[in-house]
């Protein structure tokens, strides 16, 4: 599914997760895949201050630069090969704007659902630039969890894997993975064969729990790039609406009310220079993580 960001000339993004066939991969509950986008033509990204609850946001770029400000007071830049992870918990607000130095903007925006015992945790912001690891004909950057001997120091509230993998032409690699994890491979560039399944650009390949290794193959004469996500099946039902992750309809209604009324719950994003985004009235999704399939159920707020 595609949708525009930030107005009529804004970027178009591919909403890879959730989708009808699968709503969760581990605690990963959302994946937007965007670009490559020529910001000199489209105007780039300009997302005004907006709220989050019950989740962590994971920003990962392939090219370009984004300026991040949040109500914790964090002021940081998202750059290729560097992770920015923000924890919303009870409530946080942030803005995202591509910088004047950006020519082409290209990356992924990911969300992680917080487990029930941590969903009201305090605001937090972490930055990490993982060292690249070479495995046969591939370069791997592990931004969350561990893979190919690399371990990320970034704290999460459930076990997770997040890694960028660039495969050289005609490369084939086999990497050990946690058999308790389910995995998703989002292909950004080229085509990658996962075991016997070909995953094309902008597609998300899924691997059920039980595999202790994954074989990835690039059969083409050009480099291929993908993001590998993983985690144990998330056994809680969550409700997602707009930028909120909760457990009940009432959670979402209260979060929307608090944002629209400007309570102190989300704090204030300073130095953005514009008005915050309003919370629109529209449907929300209830996602059942216990089944693994997670068919969304639509209803209205």
Nearest CA-CA partner of 49 in 28, 68, 26 = 68
pLDDT value at 5 more than 80? no
pLDDT in tens, 97-126: 999 999 999 999 999 999 999 999 999 999
Assess whether the previous peptide bond of 74 is cis (omega < 30° from 0). Answer: no
b/e code 262-289 from CB counts within 10 Å (16+ = b): eeebbbebeebeeebbebeeeebbbbbb
Residue 269's nearest CA partner among 4, 74, 52, 57 is 74
Q: Are 94 and 52 in contact (CB under 8 A)?
A: yes
* Residue 24 pLDDT exceeds 90: yes
Residue 83 has pLDDT above 50, yes or no: yes
Positive or negative, the Cα torsion across 115, 58, 202, 160? negative
CA-based nearest residue to 143, from 210, 84, 67: 84
Domains of the chain: 1-129+243-296 (2.60.120.10), 131-234 (2.60.120.10)
Burial class (CB in 10 A: 0-12, 13-18, 19+), 239: buried
Mean pLDDT for 271-289 is: 75
Give the separation between CA 141 and CA 227, rounded to whole angstroms.
9
Say which residues have a Cβ less than 8 Å from residue 191's Cβ, sequence separation at least 6.
198, 199, 200, 201, 218, 219, 220, 224
> What mean pLDDT, rounded, does the chain reach?
90
> What would the pLDDT profile of 232-244 be if each residue is shown by its tens digit?
999 999 999 999 9
Buried b (16+ CB within 10 A) or exposed e, 150-169: bebebebbbbbbbbbbbbee
Preceding peptide of 36 cis, ω within 30°: yes
What angle (nearest 5°) sits at the alpha carbon of residue 12, between those of residues 8 and 15? 130
Instruction: For residues 215-230, give the mean pLDDT.
Output: 98
Answer yes or no: is pLDDT of 7 > 50.
no
Left (φ > 0), alpha (ψ -120 to 50) or beta: where does 141 sit?
beta
| Mean of pLDDT values over 218-236 | 97
Q: Is 298's pLDDT higher than 60?
A: no
Instruction: Return d(Cα 169, Cα 188) in angstroms, integer.
Output: 15
Q: Please tell me which residue, 2 or 141, carries the higher pLDDT value.
A: 141
């Amino acid at each position: 599914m595609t949708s525009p960001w930030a107005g009529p000339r804004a970027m178009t993004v591919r909403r890879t997760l959730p989708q009808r066939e699968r709503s969760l991969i581990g605690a990963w509950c959302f994946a937007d895949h965007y670009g490559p986008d020529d910001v000199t033509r489209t105007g780039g990204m300009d997302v005004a201050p907006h709220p989050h609850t019950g989740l962590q946001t994971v920003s990962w770029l392939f090219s370009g630069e984004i300026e991040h400000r949040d109500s914790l007071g964090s002021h940081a830049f998202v750059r290729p090969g560097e992770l920015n992870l923000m924890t919303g918990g009870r409530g946080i607000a942030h803005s995202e704007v591509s910088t004047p130095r950006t020519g082409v903007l290209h990356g992924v925006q990911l969300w992680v659902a917080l487990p029930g015992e941590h969903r009201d945790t305090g605001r937090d912001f972490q930055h990490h630039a993982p060292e690249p690891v070479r495995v046969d004909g591939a370069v791997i950057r592990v931004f969350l969890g561990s893979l190919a001997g690399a371990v990320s120091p970034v704290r999460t509230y459930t076990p997770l894997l997040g890694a960028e993998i660039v495969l050289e032409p005609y490369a084939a690699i086999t990497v050990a993975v946690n058999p308790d994890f389910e995995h998703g491979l989002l292909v950004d560039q080229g085509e990658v064969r996962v075991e016997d399944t070909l995953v094309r650009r902008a597609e998300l390949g899924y691997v059920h729990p039980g595999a202790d290794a994954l074989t990835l193959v690039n059969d083409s004469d050009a480099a291929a790039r993908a993001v590998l996500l993983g985690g144990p099946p998330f056994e809680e039902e969550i409700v997602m609406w707009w930028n909120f992750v909760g457990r009940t309809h009432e959670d979402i209604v209260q979060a929307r009310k608090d944002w629209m009324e400007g309570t102190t719950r989300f704090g204030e994003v300073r130095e953005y220079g514009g008005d915050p985004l309003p919370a629109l009235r529209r449907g929300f999704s209830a996602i059942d993580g216990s089944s693994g399939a997670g068919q969304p159920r639509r209803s209205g707020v």
